[in-house]
Amino acid sequence: MNKGAAVNGEAAMNGHNPMKWNKKLYLSMACIMVEGLLSGSNFMLMYYIFKSLWEDRMDMGKIVTMTGLLAGVFLLRLLIYGYGYVQGQIGGAGVSRQIRLFLGDKLKRIPLSRFQKSQTGDYINAATENVNSYEQILTHKAGDIMKNLTLALMLVGFVAAMYVPSAVILLAAELLFLPAIAISFQAVKKYGTRKNAICAENVSSTVEYISGIQTFRAYGIGGIKNKSVTAAMKDFSDISFLYEVKIIPDGVVYSILTWMALPLEMVTAGSQWLNGRLDTVSFLLICLLPLFLAKLMGTIFVDVTSYKNLMIAKKKIERVMEEPEDARSSEIFSPKVHDIAFEQVCFSYVPGEPVCKDMDIRIENEKLTAIVGDSGSGKSTILNLISKYYEPDSGDIKIGGCSIKGIGTEQVLSKISMVDQDIFLFDDTIRNNIRYARPEAADEEIEWACREANCEEFIRKMPEGYETMAGENGNRLSGGERQRLSIARAILKDAPILLLDEATANLDIENELAVKKAISNLLKKKKTVVLIAHTLSIVKNADKILVIAEGRVKEQGSHEELILQDGKYAAMWRAEQQLL
């Protein structure tokens, strides 16, 4: 992908950052910090109560007053925290919504080749699990960390009002947090990133296992016998253990050091108390507060470590946001004719392993061109390049004399109808599954397309006819029925270019005949048709046949011409005839 496309991606993110906090999140943070300060005021009230008890100045009036103050502070904390919590949840959900909408729009602009290169799982994780993790930062972790840090600093100030050296000891215990969390961050960066990557692989393996459970069980490799799944789970178990092993000792050492503040406080403040320079109540509170602070700093350590780990999710989201975008031209792509030309096209899925080598192809306008060749010779790659699922490494592809380089994928695909081996159907009604080809189509047009695609009969036999749900990826339909619905889509779209990729492969005889009839109806109108077929009897009447081998066009011509050449095609034809 060129630099311009990458810049477009950055510009899109810089123009509107969906991760930007909203007012509700800032309001929530302020409320939570105020609630933290109010929780610290309880220690001041405790100090006053202990002082009154020690000096024997406590009476029923003071008890009622102090009880009322404690209840009032608790109620005020409850109201502030409750309001802040609700605002945080609403604000966090709002940011999550922004991110998901942004990612949804972004995915429409990412080149289709990225989805073909095993990136789909990363995109799914970014839009689901990673967004959920980032929302957890917004709605819980950030607020809890700020509240507890505010409370920890307030306690230092409170102790400073009683005895400054004791406050210095508490502050030193708190500052030890910085090197401890720095060490923790290093471990999270190294092992947390690996843990997240292995987790994604584990999820992919598990989804693949569940999707193929019938096949696995048929071959007796379900459960623990499925080595790929068990290996993925063991990898995740190992990295989870390693992650904890690397982080827990750091937290334990830091916890021990913070607890050491207690004996230091007892010695330091105790000498002052013995000398009469510090009152008994202050001494007692100074000795009690390190216990509370140790637990508080331990909580902060865990929360900040978790925060750092969750930020890995944010970086994954940002990587998707910064993905290069599909080329977008202001020029309208509207060729007057629809012949297709490959000019010195080179392409490889894996660097150093070319699939197309300086390929030159001429596909005539409104003619039927068939492509044949051995498995892996690059037949389907040609269709993928025409439809811009992939971009060529070099060379040019033209439709109607117009280069498709720099033209938006959607513009090119608007001129193309496709019928593949693998048909994707939504878990929606049959009518709506056809309508995706042309959303504005009337019901009558959809039904006409289905008649032309030879699927009217089986649709009418279904319980709810056209309103019958197709099931997840069309699992309520047979392969032949799904294929005919795909042809109905192509008929309804009525694009000038038609690409057929082994549309009759893997079908039984009855369904193959039904699909062939549907295809013949599809070919009634004059279109530029490119057909890939696994049997030569299907392509013998094509206007031109291209024989692909080793990434190049080895032979081309009509069936009769290729037979006379007595080359690869003729050998393939003779081999097929012997099997009949």
Q: What is the pLDDT of residues 153-170, one digit of tens each?
A: 988 999 998 999 999 999
Token reading at 452: 């032309």
In the predicted model, what is the mean pLDDT of residues 256-262? 89
Tokens of 406: 């720099």
User: Quick one: 288 and 205 in the same domain?
Assistant: yes
Answer yes or no: is pLDDT of 2 > 50.
Answer: no
Confirm whether 418 is domain-assigned.
Answer: yes
Please provide the average confidence, as pLDDT, over all residues in the chain.
84
Domain end (from 294, 321, 348): 321
Residue 321 host element (H or E): helix 280-321
Q: Position 432: which residue type?
A: N
Tell me the average pLDDT across 492-521. 76
Span 95-128, pLDDT tens digits: 999 998 888 888 878 777 676 544 666 777 788 8
Burial class (CB in 10 A: 0-12, 13-18, 19+), 161: exposed
pLDDT of residue 116: 55
- Say if 30 falls within a structural domain: yes
Domain that holds residue 522: 340-579
Instruction: Round to whole Å and give the CA distance between 52 and 68.
Output: 16
How many C-beta neighbours within 10 Å does residue 267 have?
10
Tell which residue, 573, 497, 479, 480, has the closest CA to residue 535.
573
Calpha distance 117→202 (Å, rounded): 18
Do 317 and 346 belong to one domain?
no
Cite the beta strand spans of 517-563 per DSSP E: 528-532, 544-549, 552-557
In a domain, 17, yes or no: yes
Is the predicted pLDDT of residue 76 greater than 80, yes or no?
Answer: yes
Report the pLDDT value the prediction gives residue 8, as an integer from 0 to 100: 41
| pLDDT over threshold 50, residue 3 | no
Closest CA to 30 of 139, 140, 147: 147
pLDDT of 382 higher than 60: yes
The CATH number covering residue 483 comes to 3.40.50.300
Long-range Cβ contact pairs of 570-578 (< 8 A, separation 24 or more): 572/372, 572/536, 573/536, 576/535, 576/536, 576/537
Could you report how far apart the first and last alpha carbons of the chain are, in Å? 47
* pLDDT confidence band for 467 (50 / 70 / 90): very high
List, for residues 274-327, the tens digit of each pLDDT value. 988 888 988 998 998 898 888 999 899 988 988 888 888 888 888 888 887 776
CA 355 to centroid of chain Cα atoms: 29
Q: Does the pLDDT at position 10 exceed 60?
A: no
311 and 351 together in one domain:
no
What does the alpha-carbon distance between residue 320 and residue 313 come to, in Å, rounded to a whole number? 11
Query: In angstroms, rounded to a whole number, what is the distance separating the alpha carbons of residues 201 and 122?
Result: 10
Same domain, yes or no: 388 and 513: yes
CATH number at 123 reads 1.20.1560.10
Q: What is the mean pLDDT of residues 448-461?
A: 88
Cα separation, 483 vs 368, whole angstroms:
20
Strand 368-373 to 544-549 pairing: parallel
Nearest to 29 by CA among 77, 69, 87: 87
Residue 327 lies in a domain: no
- With a cut of 90, say whether residue 252 has pLDDT above it: no
For residues 317 and 348, membership in a common domain is answered with: no
Q: How far is CA 391 from the centre of its chain?
A: 23
CA 317 to chain centre: 8
pLDDT of residue 6: 40
Other CB atoms closer than 10 Å to residue 381's CB: what's the count? 22
Measure the CA–CA gap between 132 and 317, rounded to whole angstroms.
Answer: 11
Same domain, 419 and 547: yes
Instruction: State whether 242 and 307 are in the same domain.
Output: yes
- Give the end of a domain, one of 321, 353, 381: 321
How far is it, in rounded angstroms, from Cα 18 to Cα 98?
5
Q: What pLDDT shows up at residue 508?
A: 62
Percent of all residues in the chain with a pLDDT value above 70, rounded to a whole number: 89
In a domain, 329, yes or no: no
Q: Do 402 and 286 share a structural domain?
A: no
pLDDT for position 166: 92
- Do 461 and 517 lie in one domain? The reply is yes
Q: Measure the CA–CA gap between 246 and 183, rounded to whole angstroms.
A: 10
Mean pLDDT for the stretch of residues 225-229: 67
Of 278, 294, 321, the position where a domain reaches its end is 321
* Mean of pLDDT values over 257-262: 89
Query: Is pLDDT larger for residue 541 or for residue 119?
Result: 541
Output the pLDDT for position 250: 85
Q: What is the pLDDT of residues 185-196, one digit of tens each?
A: 888 888 877 877
Q: How much is the average pLDDT of 450-456? A: 87
Q: Is residue 485 domain-resident?
A: yes
Q: In this structure, what are the phi and psi dihedrals at residue 352, rounded to the nearest 5 degrees?
A: 90, -5
**How large is the C-alpha radius of gyration of the chain?**
35
**pTM for this entry:** 0.67
62 with 116, same domain: the answer is yes
All residues at 6 or more sequence positions from 464 whose CB lies less than 8 Å from its CB, including other chains: 429
Say which residue, 353 or 111, is predicted with more confidence.
353
Average pLDDT over residues 540-564: 90
> Is residue 221 over pLDDT 80?
no
Average confidence (pLDDT) over 543-547: 92
163-177, 223-237, 388-402, 517-531, range with the lowest pLDDT: 223-237
Q: Is the pLDDT of residue 11 over 50?
A: no
Mean pLDDT of the 215-238 span: 70
Q: Which residues contact 252 (CB under 8 A, 6 or more apart)?
A: none
pLDDT digits (tens, 9 = 90+) for 416-440: 988 887 788 888 899 999 998 899 9
- CB neighbour list of residue 231: distance below 8 Å, 6 or more residues apart: none
For range 555-567, the mean pLDDT? 91
**Whether 312 and 390 share a structural domain:** no
**CA–CA distance from 135 to each of 123, 336, 456, 490 (Å)?**
17, 50, 48, 42
Distance, in Å, from the CA atom of 315 to the CA atom of 551, rounded to the nearest integer, reads 39
Q: Please give the pLDDT value at position 78.
A: 92
Report pLDDT for 406.
80
Q: How many domains does the chain have?
A: 2
330 is a domain residue: no
Any domain includes 331: no
In terms of Cα–Cα distance, which of 291, 28, 69, 32 is closest to 148?
32
Whole-number Å distance between alpha carbons of 139 and 90: 9
296 lies in the same domain as 445 = no
Q: What pLDDT digit, counting tens, does each position of 19-73 carry?
A: 888 899 999 999 998 988 888 888 888 888 888 888 778 788 888 888 888 889 8
What kind and span of H or E run contains 416? strand 416-419
